[in-house]
Amino acid sequence: MTVHASRYAQELIQLVGLYQKYYPHPVEEIQIVAEKINVSSVSNELPQLLSVMKGHVKKIQEFGGRKH
């Protein structure tokens, strides 16, 4: 499941990057939302966050396997 989430996140980040490249001056509404959510920070931090989550999921699964 986390593999899918990572792939989806990378694809969305790629799509946003293409929009930024080919549509550098979006309408004001898009600019406001992009600034509000800080697109560049999300693009940088989301893959790292998902990687950390994947590690935690693995630890939880290992811990759960030891209890049985």
pLDDT band of 64, cuts 50, 70, 90: confident
- From the list 38, 50, 1, the residue with the least C-alpha distance to 16 is 38
68: pLDDT strictly greater than 60: no
Of 41, 59, 54, 44, nearest in space to 6 by CA: 54
The pLDDT of residue 5 is above 90:
no
**pLDDT tens digit sequence for 32-55:** 999 999 988 998 899 899 889 888
Which pTM does this prediction carry?
0.70
